[in-house]
Structure 1
């Protein structure tokens, strides 16, 4: 052990007795160690206090930033949710439009229609359910549902368009057939000679004769293309032949004047000639024939 001692003398200013304090070296070491320990503890406590204060301020700042980010995310999710709802409403409106189109066109409903196709029709309006804060999964599920419904509606509308196009094509085809089928009187007047055997069975008449005044207009009984327009030496006089397609052909004979030419496209009701008595004829009339696939038929069946 270190047995050294240190003496500290205290000398007053007024001449009082001098006092001496004897300090063993070991005490001094203990004192110095204690002071150093206290200084270290105080420094550590101060450092920890400063660090804790900084950490708390930093954590508070981070928490505030997280709150702001969460609030912004909720706003964004809410906006996406509103857009998803609007898209659902638009899909339902498309479904209603499709339903009306199907009713107008007579096309039956599509089995792939939306399960919510009757939503919002005003028949029932019960709503409710617990409140739940939006999260990404909710919005994602809503958008996935809208995407599926849009795909179903697109497929349904595509099929409807194909059906309507086919119906339109068939209607146009039928209109074309109707327009090219003889169906009206070629002129005004009285039937002076019917189709078939006449004059006591000595002659077959391949058409009908309609008698009226000279110059009475003669019209095409269906749409078609003029194949013959002019004089016929076989007894028809001034004659017009029209090819209507689909196997139909009509002939108009004994005209006073022909006003169309071969190759002309004519429409039903269009004037093609004027009534006369040319060729083998006893008076003003039009000889009208209808041929189907080259065979003469009774025109009465093609006159309304």
Structure 2
């Protein structure tokens, strides 16, 4: 078979036109490809940001739940702080102070937050969470300061309680009350009775009515017989008389605690039967011990 060869003759203008058309096709195809990849990249970025926003919303909701729990805990602490301030004889915190708010000129607004510029709804949510968290932190600091104040005041108060003669020094029954004009059972004359008398079995333990320092321990050689004086501070002194000879187990300068044994019931001095004469002196003046006794079993 004979092969037929066809020949085409192109002019210079046709060649240039073909090249231009090819270049145009390549440019169009390139633009379409770039546009596709750009759109695809944008779609992927949009998906990523959408997922990130969903996660951020979930995180913010989780933080809000934690803050709700924290607020409930702070409410409990606030109630306890109120009771401690009451025990410490401190004024309760003012309600406005409890809010621990800031606000006022200079406070940032939600519109000033960068996130709000991008997503107002998400920005408002984040701003609200940040504001609430800041308020909780300020409230916690306020409670911490108040708690410290109440604790320190209570420490002083507890020391005062420990040194207040709030118990009877022995078990038995009261035979004579405090009086400014009592008929003496032995002398048969009227004179002040600056304490109370408690009748008990000989040898019954006599204990310190409160924490203090022994200022006298021995035999007076007079009406009171063997006697112990305890200085409790704050101008308060307690006196224990008619103690059994040889039963005093404390010495001058010694520190004793409430309920600590100091001696035993006896009959020394001017007394008709085994008993203890008990006095409370405040700044040198006798006071009725019954004004101080809260309970015969009270312990601090």
Displacement of 1:216: 0.8
**1:58 and 1:71 mapped to 2: Cα distance?**
20
Q: How many residues align?
A: 253
Question: Is 1:157 the counterpart of 2:147 in the alignment?
Answer: no
Question: Is 1:300 the counterpart of 2:283 in the alignment?
Answer: no
**2:139 and 2:21 mapped to 1: Cα distance?**
75
Of 257, 275, 285 in structure 2, the residue corresponding to residue 285 of structure 1 is: 275
Of 56, 74, 90 in structure 2, the residue corresponding to residue 98 of structure 1 is: 74
Displacement of 1:201: 4.3
Give unmatched runs, 5+ long, in structure 1.
Answer: 1-31, 115-134
Question: Is 1:261 the counterpart of 2:237 in the alignment?
Answer: no
Q: Mean Cα displacement is larger for which, 64-73 or 184-193?
A: 184-193
Displacement of 1:144: 2.0
Whether the aligned pair in 1 keeps the contact of 2:242 and 2:267 (CA below 8 Å) is yes
Displacement of 1:39: 0.8
Whether the aligned pair in 2 keeps the contact of 1:99 and 1:109 (CA below 8 Å) is no
Displacement of 1:274: 0.7
Displacement of 1:287: 1.8
Displacement of 1:277: 2.2
Question: Is 1:142 the counterpart of 2:118 in the alignment?
Answer: no
**2:253 and 2:47 mapped to 1: Cα distance?**
80
Question: Is 1:206 the counterpart of 2:206 in the alignment?
Answer: no
* Structure 1 equivalent of residue 214 of structure 2: 226
| Cα 1:75/1:261, change in 2 over 3 Å | farther
Whether the aligned pair in 2 keeps the contact of 1:102 and 1:109 (CA below 8 Å) is no
* Structure 2 equivalent of residue 185 of structure 1: 168
Give unmatched runs, 5+ long, in structure 2.
Answer: 1-8, 84-91, 102-117, 295-300
Q: Which has the larger radius of gyration?
A: 1
| TM superposition score normalised by structure 1 | 0.71
Whether the aligned pair in 2 keeps the contact of 1:77 and 1:136 (CA below 8 Å) is no
| Cα 1:205/1:82, change in 2 over 3 Å | same
| Cα 1:147/1:287, change in 2 over 3 Å | same
SS at 1:84's partner residue? helix
Q: Considering only aligned residues, what root-mean-square deviation do their CA atoms show, in Å?
A: 2.9
Displacement of 1:113: 8.2
Question: Is 1:36 the counterpart of 2:16 in the alignment?
Answer: no
**1:159 and 1:86 mapped to 2: Cα distance?**
25
* Structure 2 equivalent of residue 17 of structure 1: none
**1:263 and 1:285 mapped to 2: Cα distance?**
25
Query: 1:10-63 deviations in whole A, cap 9, x for unaligned?
Result: xxxxxxxxxxxxxxxxxxxxxx9x811111111011011112212221221122
**2:25 and 2:121 mapped to 1: Cα distance?**
44
Whether the aligned pair in 2 keeps the contact of 1:222 and 1:268 (CA below 8 Å) is yes
Displacement of 1:246: 2.2
* Structure 2 equivalent of residue 16 of structure 1: none
Matches within 5 A, 1:50-69: 50-69=26-45
| Cα 1:82/1:177, change in 2 over 3 Å | same
| TM superposition score normalised by structure 2 | 0.72
Higher strand share: 1
* Structure 2 equivalent of residue 272 of structure 1: 262
Question: Is 1:250 the counterpart of 2:238 in the alignment?
Answer: yes
**1:261 and 1:54 mapped to 2: Cα distance?**
108
